[in-house]
Amino acid sequence: MNSLFDFGRIFLGLVFVFSVAGKVHRPAAFRAFRQSVISLAPPLRGAATPVSALVVVAEASSALTLALPATAPVGLTLSVVLVTSFTAALVVALRRRTATACGCFGDSSSPVAPRHIARNAVLLLAAGGGLIGWAAGAPGAGRLSAGLILVSGLAAVLAVVTATLDDIVSLIGIVPRSATHHRVHAAVTVRSVTRADGV
């Protein structure tokens, strides 16, 4: 149970660190994330900037609380809320069949796809496992040991894979980046022309 708890908090903590860094490492990245918020949730267009900032703050808060075993249960619970909300938005986008870019880790040009839902399912499983480990006691969680080092290494590798999933998929040729970029660009262009024509 210690391993479940430690894996969940370390894995999710690193994923949120990568997510926050991807959104704020440069102004253009945050603007791209803001645009993805508008595309995924059109009713939030008028409040896109504060909502985007709130998401970043919530993710940063999750990462901070997950860093310490004592506060990790709060971070795991917040993770469940955040990932569930993100997943709901992605499902709606998929059902609309629009080429909306997923800004989960910054200014990615990859449109929302079933793999993003699967990725979030893994995150929810990790959070659930972490909460189960905590509920079972996990008295030695966070204590330096060979087990914790192994769990931390595995969590770090999987966090990197999670954060770079779109790049990995592009690299192996499942979704060519150029084609993906053109689809997203075309969708943005159509929306821009539609607004310009007053439709």
7-30 burial, b if ≥16 CB within 10 A, otherwise e? bbbbbbbbbbbbbbbbbeeeeebb
pLDDT for the residue numbered 129: 93
pLDDT at 178 over 70: no
Pick 88 or 141 by higher pLDDT: 88
Residue 111 backbone dihedrals phi, psi, to 5 degrees: -70, 160
For residues 63-73, average pLDDT: 94
Better pLDDT: 89 or 2: 89
Average pLDDT, the chain: 82
Phi-psi group of 111: left, alpha or beta (phi > 0 → left; psi -120 to 50 → alpha; rest → beta)? beta
- φ, ψ of residue 43 in degrees (nearest 5): -60, -20
Residue percentage of the chain with pLDDT more than 70: 80
Q: What is the mean pLDDT of residues 72-87?
A: 94
The predicted-structure confidence for 80-106, as pLDDT tens digits, reads as follows 999 999 999 889 888 887 777 777 887
At residue 178's C-alpha, the angle toward residues 24 and 14, to 5°, is 35
pLDDT digits (tens, 9 = 90+) for 145-156: 777 889 999 999
| pLDDT for the residue 144 | 62
User: What are the residue ranges of helices labelled H in the chain?
Assistant: 2-24, 27-40, 48-66, 72-96, 114-135, 146-163, 165-171, 177-196
pLDDT of residue 143: 62
Q: Which of 59-68, 108-117, 160-169 has the highest mean pLDDT?
A: 59-68
| Neighbour-count burial for 105-129, b at 16+ CB within 10 Å, e otherwise | bbbbbbbbbebbeebbebbbebbeb
What is the C-alpha separation between 140 and 1, in angstroms, rounded? 10
Predicted confidence (pLDDT) per residue in 25-48, tens digit: 888 889 888 888 888 888 888 899
Cα 10 to Cα 24, 66, 75, 116, 171, distances in angstroms = 21, 7, 11, 20, 27
What are the C-alpha distances in Å from 15 to residues 38, 48, 124, 178, 190?
23, 23, 12, 26, 33
Could you write out the DSSP letters of every residue in 138-170?
-TTTT---HHHHHHHHHHHHHHHHHHTHHHHHH
111 DSSP β-pair partners: 101
Write down the pLDDT at residue 147: 79
What's the average model confidence in pLDDT over 10-30? Answer: 93
What percent of the chain lies above the pLDDT cut of 90?
A: 44
The amino acid that residue 113 corresponds to is A
| pLDDT reported for residue 176 | 47
User: Does residue 69 surpass a pLDDT of 60?
Assistant: yes
According to the model, what pLDDT value does residue 192 have? 44
pLDDT at 195: 44
